[in-house]
A and B are shown apart, each in its own frame.
Chain A
């Protein structure tokens, strides 16, 4: 299990690095799609079918939107020149990354390894939840009953984004 996911993750990392370095923006967007669809497989392996469905649809729609934006541009990325300041920035960034990585290793050392998770808050969401909410799908039970307030917030965020997109894409901002 752990090995399979690690291999998929390896491919996802390669895809991500390619997406960041591709000259053509369209290939970069497609490479991001690879990372997203790799995530779908991981979700399926980790017994999260709800997430797999949502992720595959949302990833497709994100790709459509991004391709629609990229498609009628020049699509070429101008190369980042490696002047002295950029190199210095890169060195500093890598030192910070190394530090973060080391701290992350130290931090997760004491935490539960993969597969040995125990329940505290979700105890109620699993045991006897079917009688409490009436929903056979436990994730739906959490989303729409135990934590329905979060779901309202989530729907509001999507609504805000739609309203924001309508607002930002007006042709004229000010009356003349």
Chain B
């Protein structure tokens, strides 16, 4: 896959960073403002897709990346399940219990384990969407040879 012109590349470099940071903001403030793990994860995946489209890449490089993204999503979703199981050990001893302290509602560090769920779900969603996109692009590259 070929990249685009220099202007596009430069602009994308700027914009992708901003989008990435915005995605992280959305994830971290999931329990305070609209948005959360799903929205933020999709935004982060969008930033990566933008970079790949603008700069282009060859199938070999993309294959390495797809390995990374699929491993990342596996680890993230495993963490979600482990977090859910951890509730069996602490506190109320129920699957999916919110065992951590609730804190002061409205602050960044509050709502027990909800921010943690948001973070891991965000990573998982970003990884999954990126994996789907990369798999499509790699297939197109390899099969058109």
- A–B direct touch in complex (beta carbons closer than 8 A): yes
Binding site for B on A (CB under 8 A): 49-50, 52-54, 57-58, 60-61, 64-65, 68-69, 72, 130-131, 133-137, 139-141, 143-145, 148-149, 151-152, 154-156, 158-159, 161-163, 165-166, 169, 171
Please tell me the size bucket of the interface on B: 35 or more
Q: Do B117 and A151 touch across chains, with their CB atoms under 8 A apart?
A: yes
Task: Give chain A's interface secondary structure class.
Answer: helix
What is the minimal beta-carbon distance from A98 to any residue of chain B, in angstroms? 38
Q: Which residues of B contact A141 (CB under 8 A)?
A: 31, 111, 114
Q: Which residues of B contact A54 (CB under 8 A)?
A: 35, 38-39, 42
Find A166's partner among B98, B112, B135 (CB 8 Å cutoff).
B135
Q: Do B32 and A136 touch across chains, with their CB atoms under 8 A apart?
A: yes
Q: Which residues of A contact B35 (CB under 8 A)?
A: 50, 53-54
Chain B 117-142 interface mask (CB, 8 Å, partner A; 1/0)? 11001001101110111011111101
Q: Do A165 and B81 touch across chains, with their CB atoms under 8 A apart?
A: no
How far, in angstroms, from A81 to B31 measured CA to CA in the complex? 54
Q: Of all chain B residues, which has the CB nearest A166?
A: B135
Find B128's partner among A64, A72, A151, A161 (CB 8 Å cutoff).
A161
Q: Which residues of B contact A140 (CB under 8 A)?
A: 30-31, 36, 111, 114, 118
What is the minimal beta-carbon distance from A49 to any residue of chain B, in angstroms? 4
Q: Do A64 and B133 touch across chains, with their CB atoms under 8 A apart?
A: yes
A151-B121, A169-B135 given as contacts; is B111 within 8 A of A135 (CB)? yes
A49-B34, A137-B33 given as contacts; is B118 within 8 A of A162 (CB)? no
Q: Do B80 and A155 touch across chains, with their CB atoms under 8 A apart?
A: yes
What is the minimal beta-carbon distance from A10 to any residue of chain B, in angstroms? 27
Q: Do A148 and B84 touch across chains, with their CB atoms under 8 A apart?
A: yes
Q: Which residues of A contact B38 (CB under 8 A)?
A: 54, 154
